């Protein structure tokens, strides 16, 4: 398996921009609002990605997420020229242990999925706000 470093770098950059855009215009209340019972809030989506990347500080969701993106970029740069199919990442005996050539594209897809989820929550919050204001008035 050949890892497309340029594509991964582009996805990391896109993830940064999407996470920052998610925060624009949001109050703390909106950040933690679940669109429906049992559905994740925007904060929960980003926190999940931070936990996955071992960055746990719920008070600094996006800065921690951006730091994790920096770490992914560093790993990509430092792995250039290595046989990534032979390098394993993750704790031994962990269900998340994988070859680096597979782990990085998986993580990029994982980020895309949860950023899209958070973006959908943001749309739901903003589309529900006018309805709530109309019903209250």
Q: How confident is the model at residue 116 (pLDDT cuts 50, 70, 90)?
A: very high
Residue reference for tokens 């008070």: 59
Count of structural domains, the chain = 1
3-state secondary structure of 41: coil
For residues 107 and 62, give the distance between their C-alpha atoms in angstroms, rounded to a whole number.
Answer: 17
77 occurs within a structural domain: yes
- Exposed, middle or buried by CB within 10 Å (0-12, 13-18, 19+), for 118? buried
Contact 49, 117 (CB under 8 A): no
Does 109 reside within a domain?
A: yes
The answer to whether residue 90 is domain-embedded is: yes
Residue 34 domain-assigned? Answer: no
Confidence check: pLDDT of 2 > 70: no
Q: Band of the pLDDT at 17, cuts 50, 70, 90?
A: very high
Asked if 58 and 47 touch (Cβ cutoff 8 Å), the reply is: yes
Domain contains 65:
yes
Please give the pLDDT value at position 68.
Answer: 84
Higher pLDDT, residue 3 or 70: 70
Across 119-126, average pLDDT: 89
* Boundaries of domain holding 52: 40-129
Mean pLDDT of 54-75: 76
How is residue 73 written in tokens?
């970029």
Residue at 22 is within a domain: no
Residue 94 reports pLDDT greater than 70: no
User: Residues 97-124: what's their mean pLDDT?
Assistant: 86
Q: Which run of H or E residues covers position 13? A: helix 5-23
Most confident of 4-18, 25-39, 77-91: 4-18
């Amino acid at each position: 398996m050949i890892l497309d470093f340029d594509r991964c770098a582009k996805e990391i950059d896109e993830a940064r921009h999407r996470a920052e855009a998610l925060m624009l215009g949001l109050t703390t209340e909106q950040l933690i609002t679940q669109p429906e019972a049992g559905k994740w809030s925007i904060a929960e989506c980003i926190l999940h990605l931070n936990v996955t990347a071992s960055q746990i500080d719920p008070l600094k969701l996006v800065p921690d997420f951006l730091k994790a993106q920096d770490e992914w970029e560093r790993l990509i740069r430092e792995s250039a020229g290595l046989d990534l199919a032979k390098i394993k990442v993750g704790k031994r005996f962990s269900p998340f242990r994988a070859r680096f050539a597979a782990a990085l594209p998986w993580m990029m897809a994982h980020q895309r999925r949860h950023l899209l989820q958070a973006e959908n929550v943001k749309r739901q919050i903003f589309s529900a706000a006018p309805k709530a204001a109309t019903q209250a008035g």
